Structure 1
Amino acid sequence: MEQGLAYRLPPGSPPVARAAIIGLGLIGGSLGLALVQGGLAQEVVGYDRDGEAVQTAVRLGAVTRAAFSSEEAVAGAEIVFLAVPVGSLTKVAAAVAPFTAPGAIVTDTGSVKGDIVYAMENIFHSRAFYIGGHPMAGSEKAGIKAADRYLLENAVYVLTPTQNTDSGALSRLQGLLKALGARVITMDPEEHDLVVAGVSHLPHLLAVSLMQTAGELSREHPITLMLAAGGFRDTTRIAAGNPEMWRDIFLSNRQAILKVLQLWRRQVEALEGVIAREDAMELEAVLQHARHLRNQVPARQKGLLPTLHEIVVTVPDRPGVIGRMASALGGAGINIIDLEILRVREGEGGSIRLAFTTAEAAAGALEILQGMGINARIL
């Protein structure tokens, strides 16, 4: 098979002539919006087994053309995104492989790699270039209606090449994903599965177990869920995720998940013992260590981003105040990488967190905002 893609565009044209997206949910729809609205593809063809999702994708502009089958969608596409649940990946891949353009790049968006990567390589062997992918972005909301053109902006996008991966195809895919705004890293498939089991899959299982526990408690104490405050809601937010998707993830990555569950169980048992012994000094030491580790986690990041540099501003409740701040910083060439309204009291004002990629940008923003008479401080 020739190196590179089967289709080449004239200079100045979008990087991709035709892209195909199979699976028009949150991730597939967000990819489509970014490709279309970012001008990175001349044509984006989409297919989903849910006809309503396809119609919504067309209406939202996530695809430029709807296909009536997955086979039709991939025909002539130089890059194919398989944004379907991990439990369906190999089945969908086997169905579309004979219709995939020779030399096309095929990638997926599943959060489990491992054996799936090697199975997919075999399916597309000698016809297309397969590269495993996992965008580290998402939401507890599911479906095309939750799609976000900027979902991948500044999010880590993991690619899992193997010794069989074509270097030219990998470079081309990396370039396209970076153009979408993602931060691309490469990992070994097995390492990826173990790491995400610890930082993504295990937290979801814990959120589910916390909700189940609160549910049991509420049987005798109905007020339980009414008293669930911000900490409980934040901790269990991800339990509202798509059950079908997470079922497939847990089963597909069961070996890595079982391994990290053993690590977690030892921690819980140790905590249980410290509390049972009423060992105040040991308990405080454990809490201090956990606090130290937590402070090493980059704040408010998407995926595996480097540490963000943040400032907090206090502003009055006046129309356009956020817009004026953004315009002032944008005019100085300072990009706000993340923004969050922390607290607000209607009629008075509130506090807003602004995040930047460098300390220099944060310092420059601080100076500009203070010069505007806005109360601002470095976090």
Structure 2
Amino acid sequence: MQPLWEQVTIVGVGLIGGSLGMALRKKGLAKSVVGVDVKEKILDTAVEMEAIDRGIVDLQAGVAEADLVVLATPICTSVRILTEIAPYLKKGCVVTDVGSTKNLIVETAARIMPEETVFVGGHPMAGSEQAGINGADLYLFENAVYILTVMPGTPEEPVQKLKQTLNSIGARVLEMNPVQHDFLVAGISHLPHIVAAALVNTVGRLHKDYPDILGLAAGGFRDTTRIASGHPLMWRDICTTNKEQILEVLKIFKETLNEMEAMIDDCDEEGIEAEFNRAREIRRGIPARMKGYLPVLYEIIIYVPDRPGVIAGIASLLGEAGINISDIEIMRVKEGEGGSIRLGFGSAEDQEKALTLFRENNIKAKIKL
């Protein structure tokens, strides 16, 4: 593919910035990918991981010759950086960001962007539990929804060029206005993270009086609260920059909880059952194989005998076939007999390969739905 950009500068070479750099370089979408970060060690790692061609700590120098600037830092930091770099952007430069809220940065860009430059808000709905450059993944954006918030009056050509870039790395691009975006993600992304954090902290309080509770909090509880391991700085910025929308969905959530609390208090068996049935039906309508903001794992349950080295053997079998394990959990074990293990994979393709491999090796396995 012919490069679409002479120079792409990524400010903030962490999980998102590093993954984007890898994808851009792999697809040949830019002649040069430059990384800007405050830590030279991060930049050195990014070069080693082939996420960028070169790194620089000088922000002004890093953006001066860029055709595309990607702000891949926490939201409030991106707003500050946008203000700092605006005077140094060259004619025709396109600036985008990857923040989870859009109103603040879009409004800021409308005020400060120089003439003959363009800002397009961006939000890749993809993530990982492992933050930082070491979590960067070439395929992070594959089949992921990538929302663009385009300001009225923005020229069509740079928007289409950015869309082509994102489509080329496997993303599914949607356009949305910033207000609509911020309310929707408050419900489907921000609320779940807040609730997950509250669930974990609730168990943390119970732990003071019931020390064994954390040992029992594996399995379903661990899966339900997996997203609570998100970066605290990022979530601080999300909560403060999307305050009104988050408070609105929290109000609706609390009303729902209050209704369920009343049903439980009244021993309303019919109402309780109906509420869980409604939740099950709504959940069935959620696409199962398209990435949203919450990290997706493609899971398999295997059944193995209780003997030394069995897990190492499974790992070796997958490793020799070039299949990477993204997550692993020992679910149930009966001494002397065996048990079940949950394996998580980063793609449906790896899941299918692993399932075939297990069956070829007479290992009982099934897809976890």
TM-score range (shorter-chain normalised) is 0.7 to 0.9
Matched, 1:277 2:266: yes
**Following the alignment from structure 1 to structure 2, what is the Cα–Cα distance between the partners of residues 149 and 229?**
30
- Whichever residue aligns with residue 190 of structure 1, its letter is V
Name which of 21, 24, 27 aligns with 1:38: 27
Report the CA distance between 1:143 and its aligned residue: 0.9
Alignment of structure 1 residues 143-292 onto 2, 5 Å: 143-292=132-281
Report the CA distance between 1:347 and its aligned residue: 10
CA contact 1:34–1:150 (8 Å) conserved in 2: yes
- Whichever residue aligns with residue 140 of structure 2, its letter is L
Secondary structure in structure 1 of the residue aligned to 2:225: helix
Secondary structure in structure 2 of the residue aligned to 1:13: coil
Aligned length: 347
Name which of 26, 39, 43 aligns with 1:54: 43
Secondary structure in structure 1 of the residue aligned to 2:123: strand
Change (3 A) 1:352 1:56: closer
Change (3 A) 1:140 1:174: same
Report the CA distance between 1:252 and its aligned residue: 0.4
Report the CA distance between 1:324 and its aligned residue: 7.2
Percent identity, aligned pairs only, is: 40
Change (3 A) 1:311 1:262: closer
Name which of 118, 135, 143 aligns with 2:124: 135
Deviates more, 1:180-189 or 1:340-349: 340-349
Unaligned runs of 5+ in 1: 1-11, 327-337
CA contact 2:187–2:249 (8 Å) conserved in 1: yes
1:87 counterpart residue number = 76
CA contact 1:140–1:239 (8 Å) conserved in 2: no
User: Deviations 1:273-331 (Å, cap 9, x if unpaired)?
Assistant: 000000101110111001111111122531189xxxx99798997876798799xxxxx
Change (3 A) 1:188 1:225: same
Name which of 108, 111, 114 aligns with 2:97: 108
Matched, 1:118 2:118: no
User: Deviations 1:37-94 (Å, cap 9, x if unpaired)?
Assistant: 2222110111111232122112212111112311111111111101111111221011
User: Deviations 1:91-139 (Å, cap 9, x if unpaired)?
Assistant: 1011111111111111000000013212113221414110000000112
CA contact 1:313–1:377 (8 Å) conserved in 2: yes
CA contact 2:303–2:338 (8 Å) conserved in 1: no
**Cα-Cα RMSD:** 3.4
1:9 counterpart residue number = none
User: Deviations 1:170-225 (Å, cap 9, x if unpaired)?
Assistant: 10000001111111111111110001000110111001111111111011111111
**Following the alignment from structure 2 to structure 1, what is the Cα–Cα distance between the partners of residues 322 and 14?**
34
Change (3 A) 1:242 1:220: same
Unaligned runs of 5+ in 2: 305-312
**Following the alignment from structure 2 to structure 1, what is the Cα–Cα distance between the partners of residues 122 and 197?**
26
Which TM-score applies when normalising by structure 1?
Answer: 0.81
Which TM-score applies when normalising by structure 2?
Answer: 0.83
Name which of 67, 73, 92 aligns with 2:56: 67
Deviates more, 1:47-56 or 1:14-23: 47-56
CA contact 1:19–1:78 (8 Å) conserved in 2: yes
Secondary structure in structure 2 of the residue aligned to 1:154: coil
**Following the alignment from structure 1 to structure 2, what is the Cα–Cα distance between the partners of residues 112 and 210?**
24
CA contact 2:302–2:366 (8 Å) conserved in 1: no
User: Deviations 1:235-266 (Å, cap 9, x if unpaired)?
Assistant: 11111111111101110000100000000000
Change (3 A) 1:230 1:300: farther
**Following the alignment from structure 1 to structure 2, what is the Cα–Cα distance between the partners of residues 324 and 248?**
41
Report the CA distance between 1:376 and its aligned residue: 9.4
CA contact 1:100–1:127 (8 Å) conserved in 2: no
Name which of 293, 303, 306 aligns with 2:282: 293
What stretches of structure 1 move > 2 A for 4+ residues in a row? 310-326, 338-357, 371-379
- Whichever residue aligns with residue 122 of structure 2, its letter is G
